Every structure is written in C-alpha cells, then in structure tokens.
Amino acid sequence: MSHQRSGSHDGEDLKTKARDTASAVKEDVTKAAQSAARTVQDEAAHYADRSKETAAREVRGVASALRTAADELRDGSPQERTFSQLADGLADVSDTIRDKDLGEVVSGLNSFARRNPLLFLGGAALAGFAATRFARATARDPQHGTQHGSGTPDRATSFGADLGQGTATAGGTGSISETGSATGSSAASQTGGARS
C-alpha cells in the first residue's frame, strides 16, 4: 500500500511540476510577445516619424514653388492670388504634418478639407503632380541606364499586350526657340492584334 501511495504522490508532484513549467513557459512567451510588440510599435513610430518629416518637407517644397510662381506673376492677378493662397495653405499643412502625430494629422487634414475644399483639392492635385514628376525624374531605364524623357524613344505596352495582343512605340525629336516657335517630328506605331 505504501508503494501505491508513493506512486500517487510522485504523480501529483509530476503534475505540479508540469503545471509550473507550463505556467513559466506561458509567462516567458507572453513577455517575449509583449517585447516584440513594443519593438514593432517603436519601429512603426520611428518609420512614421521619418515619413512624416519627408512628407512635410515635400509639401513645404511645393508651397515654396507656388510662392515663387506667385511672385513672378502680375500683382493682384487671379493666378497670383490663387497661387499665394495655395502656398499659404500648403505651408500650414506642412507645419501641421511636422508638429502632430499621425492621428492628429489625418483629423487635421479632414478638417482642412471641409473648411477649404478648393484649396485642399488644388493642393492634392499639385501634390499628385509633384509626386508624379518626382517619380518620373527618378525612374531609370534598366536597359540603357538613361532617364525617361531624355529624347530616346520609349516602348510602352498597350492595353492587353501582356497577353500578346499588341505593343506600341512612340518617339520624337524637337526644339523650341526663345521666341516660342517649335519645330519637331514624331512617329508612332502600333503592332499586334487580338488573339482568337
């Protein structure tokens, strides 16, 4: 009988040890998960701050370009006033982006868009235009190592060409004189057809 009791007691000890070990492992896993979550949050916050600074700098650059354009226009012209208002609005947006956290920035942009819908739309259009120009300026042709827009023909794929349905090529040369007259030539061709 005492042997059975000893075996029962050993079984209880094993259960207790297993329970304690499982609890310790669970606690370690929880701590590791919390630490990883903090690391991810810190990295995300750092990335958001860097992105926020970059965005603020880009918006400030667009505002500066608009201010320069407004200064070059006739005083009091509608274009000058519009560019000045857009520049002021974008400068404010840049400051807001730089000084607030992401949630506040989104809330502020929503509020700005409601108060000044035309300025917001104009700014969004200009920001999109600037982003497109920036992307095109930094894009490189992998075959020739030249920038797009350098005067070399660009090969573009027409709708459906990835299915073997057609390609288009366009190219051109030209010049503009100081008097504003332009000369040039262009050529375009399209090949391919629908597959049945």
| pLDDT tens, position by position, 79-97 | 888 888 888 988 987 887 8
User: Which residue stretches of the chain are H helix?
Assistant: 2-72, 78-99, 102-115, 117-138
User: Residue 127 domain-assigned?
Assistant: yes
User: Residue 175 domain-assigned?
Assistant: no
Query: Tokens standing for 5?
Result: 């009791």
The pLDDT of residue 140: 59
Is the confidence at residue 159, as pLDDT, over 60?
no
Cα distances from 33 to residues 18, 20, 22, 191, in angstroms, run 22, 20, 16, 57
User: Residue 25 domain-assigned?
Assistant: yes
User: Residue 29 domain-assigned?
Assistant: yes
Alpha-carbon torsion (32, 34, 40, 46), positive or negative:
negative
Spatial contact of 149 and 133, defined as CB atoms under 8 Å apart:
no
The pLDDT of residue 171: 46
Residues 105-130, buried b or exposed e (16+ Cβ, 10 A)?
A: beebbeebeeebeebbebbeebbeee
Domains: count for the chain:
1
Domain holding 99, by residue range, is: 13-140
Task: Return the higher-pLDDT residue of 144 and 29.
Answer: 29
Q: pLDDT-based confidence at 106, cuts 50/70/90?
A: confident
Mean pLDDT confidence for 100-105: 79
User: Residue 150 domain-assigned?
Assistant: no
Is the confidence at residue 133, as pLDDT, over 50?
yes
User: Residue 194 domain-assigned?
Assistant: no
User: Residue 58 domain-assigned?
Assistant: yes
User: Residue 128 domain-assigned?
Assistant: yes
Q: What angle do CA 12, 18, 20 make, to 5 degrees?
A: 100
Mean pLDDT confidence for 129-153: 61
The pLDDT of residue 142: 52
Name the pTM for this structure. Answer: 0.41
Share of the chain above pLDDT 90, in %: 3
pLDDT in tens, 7-29: 567 778 888 988 989 889 989 99
